[in-house]
Chains A and B, each alone.
Chain A
Amino acid sequence: MITLNHLEKRYGNTAAVRDLSLTFPDASITALLGPSGCGKTTTLRMINRLIEPTSGQVLLDGQDTGQLKPEVLRRGIGYVIQQIGLFPHLSVAQNVATVPDLLGRNRAQTARRVDELLALVGLEPAVYRAKRPAELSGGQAQRVGVARALAADPPVLLMDEPFGALDPIARDEVQERFLGIQAELKKTVVIVSHDIDEALRMGDYVALMRAGELEQFGTPDDLVKRPASEFVRQFLGDDANLRQLAGVPVREFARPGSAADAASLPRVEAATNTRTALALMLRAGSERAAIWDGETLVGVVGFADLLRAEAEAPTAAGRAP
């Protein structure tokens, strides 16, 4: 668990981060969202002390990070950046093995771990192990970046606009892949983003910042349906509800349906996000769709169900943390 206590960072007379107190819940993804210059990247970099706070504390599982040597602290935290930052003179395997090597882990063990992680991020070890970063596409490179961050199995992962340098298709794929990894590994992840879609889709929780201060902290649902201020509402925009739906798999809205009924409806995979499901329904010209998980019928969903879900229990449609 990461706790920020009255964290502050001043540069001369300006405060980049002002009296920030926040707890990042365990085993979840928290998105630090906000406009440019709101202090989200500064906050992230204060967690692993790439930037030293002017005042305040960062507690990692109760321990004050200020007491540790910065290098020791950082080796226990995964770090993924927008420019990816792979080492061009090393192979993919050597890149991924960076932190375990720094920690002096056993070579054979590290090699196994590297293969394990490459497979986890969807890159076949035998093919990618010996490649150089220059031979990789942007999406592949960032996957290696994620594998590298996870190599020493840190409990915490810090990501600074990790998918910003990728084209939209690659970004979508890697985001999807990352959510799958997170479902398995359950790390405490802090991800900085200025992309509302990304934050609402990836985040189990969202911390919206503005001018160095926290505007609102909550689940995407909280921010969309119960914005704490006008700023939050305006920032998330008029299509906030649709954006939020992009983070929810359509199976959450499934209602029981008969096979006969389902046969006449357009088909949607259970894992598809709800916004895409809506788009598919629009394309098919149908108010309802059948949700399938492979060959198994999960249920049916219709536009009316979505409306009803919004009106009824507001948190029922949110993803379970």
Chain B
Amino acid sequence: MSAPALNVPGESAPLRPARLSSDLRTVLVLACLPMLAALLLPWVLLRPNRIAPGEALHLPGLSLAVGVLLALALPLSARFAPRLLGLFSSLALSAGFWWLGTQTTAALVGQLPFARASASSGLWLWLLGAAVGSYGASLAARSRAERLSGWLWLLPLVWWVFSGFFLHWSVVVEGQAERERLLQEFFQHLWLVGVALGLALVLGGPLAVWASRRASVAGAVLSVAGGVQTIPSLALLGLLIAPFSALSTAFPVLRDLGIRGIGVAPALTAMTLYALLPVLRNGVVALTGVSAGALDAARGMGMTDAQRFWRVQLPLALPVWLTGVRQAAVLLMGVAAIASQIGAGGLGVYIFKGLQSSAADLILLGAIPAVLLAVAINALLRGLEELLARRLGRV
């Protein structure tokens, strides 16, 4: 979405870049302020070991100067050179990551192996400000080149991640130690979301089709699914422990199958129930929203009910339905993080372990992959939706 730009009266040639609207310029000032504040805060917390209190370290003088320039570059560029905004915001983000790597490395020089250098408030605030700046740049982008320049920071980041540039950052240090388990929990998390989503589709799909044909069914089914949604996830997970326990005690064969009061079975049940509402709701809306004229024509031309459903109704309903599936997937990413609390595994294991032992590194170890995964799934499904919308000629 590109923001409308004001044309300053008196400027003749339309080729001159239009000025940014004052709203956008405000966004970029709002990006600059946290970045400047961040420079005053400590960037690295050096602890002699995992649990001892640490020493706050600030950015060295030269970096501070560069930081000030970069921070000011955003609102100045917004005012005088809007075309360069993407570039400057990428530079700011990259600088943040650069300092993460170099400062943590520098902090650990001459320290014992148990020492930990973690990122502190300065870094996070800087990244936040730079991210806001990047967002502002994407809104202001008026050409493909400008849009792409706002994503340039990804290149050095990927390079640094894979070349071990961040190896001294405490989160990565923890990750190295936990490597196998982390990977295992990552895939467990993905597996939980995938299976629950699949179950929700298998159950919700036919249910949505049925509900789209009968208003009474639709009302009942949607209110039940909506009711489930109002139960907080941890509460639902807890509530399911008792029935599953009872079942597996009564039928030992279930126990052999791995279905117990805690673990994957109640977690998947809860997650499937949560995913049902978006799948059902969007399904019903999408199916009933298909053009009545197209459906009447299909029937009048001699399609059987099945042909009409598969050839006309379903393809036309897919984009809206897919939005619901996407919402369900993102929702499930969050619930899966909590499911670790009842023994289902997943990245929540690290988040909660970190919360319990007040180890921020562990929290981040769980949270960062979870967030990245959610963003990736969202972007993937969004792309699919747009592909479908284009094929339908934007109906």
Question: Is B296 a contact of A81 with CB atoms below 8 Å?
Answer: yes
Return chain B residues, CB-CB under 8 Å to A81.
293, 296-297, 300
B235 at the interface (CB under 8 A from A): no
Bitwise, A273-314 to B at CB < 8 A (1) or not (0) is 000000000000000000000000000000000000000000
Bitwise, A72-105 to B at CB < 8 A (1) or not (0) is 1111110101111111110000000011001000
Which of B291, B301, B315, B394 is close to A74, meaning CB atoms less than 8 Å apart? B301
Tell me the number of A-to-B contacts counted with CB atoms below 8 Å. Answer: 78
Return chain B residues, CB-CB under 8 Å to A145.
297
Partner-binding segment picked from B30-38, B160-168, B302-310, B327-335: B302-310
Question: Is B296 a contact of A72 with CB atoms below 8 Å?
Answer: no
Return chain A residues, CB-CB under 8 Å to B312.
87
Question: Is A102 a contact of B301 with CB atoms below 8 Å?
Answer: yes
B316 at the interface (CB under 8 A from A): yes
Q: How far is the CA of A84 from the CA of B298 in the complex (A)?
A: 11
Question: Is B304 a contact of A85 with CB atoms below 8 Å?
Answer: no
A203 at the interface (CB under 8 A from B): no
Question: Is B301 a contact of A88 with CB atoms below 8 Å?
Answer: no
Question: Is B302 a contact of A73 with CB atoms below 8 Å?
Answer: yes
Chain B proximity of A88: nearest CB distance (Å) = 4
Residue on B nearest A75 in the bound complex, by CB? B302
Question: Is B293 a contact of A79 with CB atoms below 8 Å?
Answer: no
Question: Is B393 a contact of A99 with CB atoms below 8 Å?
Answer: no
A188 at the interface (CB under 8 A from B): no
B177 at the interface (CB under 8 A from A): no
Return chain B residues, CB-CB under 8 Å to A83.
291-293, 296-297
Known: A83-B292, A83-B296. Contact between A88 and B395, CB under 8 A? yes
Return chain A residues, CB-CB under 8 Å to B294.
85-88
B380 at the interface (CB under 8 A from A): no
Which of A48, A86, A88, A102 is close to B300, meaning CB atoms less than 8 Å apart? A48
Residue among A77, A84, A87 with max Cβ neighbours from chain B (10 Å): A87
B181 at the interface (CB under 8 A from A): no
- A-side interface size class: 20 to 34
Q: How many residues of B contact A (CB 8 A)?
A: 23
Return chain B residues, CB-CB under 8 Å to A75.
301-302
Known: A71-B304, A73-B302. Contact between A85 and B291, CB under 8 A? yes
B16 at the interface (CB under 8 A from A): no
Q: How far is the CA of A145 from the CA of B293 in the complex (A)?
A: 12
A247 at the interface (CB under 8 A from B): no
Question: Is B303 a contact of A71 with CB atoms below 8 Å?
Answer: yes
A261 at the interface (CB under 8 A from B): no
Q: How far is the CA of A15 from the CA of B312 in the complex (A)?
A: 33
Return chain B residues, CB-CB under 8 Å to A79.
297, 300-301
Question: Is B300 a contact of A89 with CB atoms below 8 Å?
Answer: no
A134 at the interface (CB under 8 A from B): yes
Chain B proximity of A199: nearest CB distance (Å) = 21
B224 at the interface (CB under 8 A from A): no
B254 at the interface (CB under 8 A from A): no
Bitwise, A125-140 to B at CB < 8 A (1) or not (0) is 0000000111100000
B144 at the interface (CB under 8 A from A): no
Return chain B residues, CB-CB under 8 Å to A73.
302
| Chain B stretch 304-326: residues in CB contact (< 8 A) with chain A | 304, 307, 312, 315-316
Which of B293, B295, B301 is close to A98, meaning CB atoms less than 8 Å apart? B301
Return chain A residues, CB-CB under 8 Å to B213.
none
Question: Is A74 a contact of B300 with CB atoms below 8 Å?
Answer: yes
Return chain A residues, CB-CB under 8 Å to B307.
102
A50 at the interface (CB under 8 A from B): yes
Bitwise, B379-395 to A at CB < 8 A (1) or not (0) is 00000000000011111
Question: Is B300 a contact of A50 with CB atoms below 8 Å?
Answer: yes
Return chain A residues, CB-CB under 8 Å to B301.
74-75, 79, 98-99, 102, 148-149
B179 at the interface (CB under 8 A from A): no
| Chain A stretch 21-69: residues in CB contact (< 8 A) with chain B | 48, 50
Q: How far is the CA of A311 from the CA of B282 in the complex (A)?
A: 66
Chain B proximity of A263: nearest CB distance (Å) = 52
Chain A proximity of B389: nearest CB distance (Å) = 10
Return chain B residues, CB-CB under 8 Å to A132.
392-393
Q: Given contacts A75-B302, A82-B293, could you give 16 more A-B pairs where the C-beta distance is less than 8 Å? A: A48-B300, A70-B302, A74-B302, A83-B292, A83-B296, A85-B291, A86-B297, A87-B298, A87-B316, A88-B392, A88-B395, A89-B316, A98-B301, A102-B301, A132-B393, A158-B300
The list of the 3 closest CB pairs from A to B, nearest first, reads: A83-B293, A85-B297, A75-B302
> Please, could you name 18 A-B residue pairs with CB atoms under 8 Å apart, sorted by A?
A76-B302, A79-B301, A81-B296, A83-B291, A83-B296, A83-B297, A85-B296, A85-B297, A87-B294, A89-B391, A89-B395, A98-B301, A132-B393, A133-B393, A134-B392, A134-B393, A135-B393, A149-B301
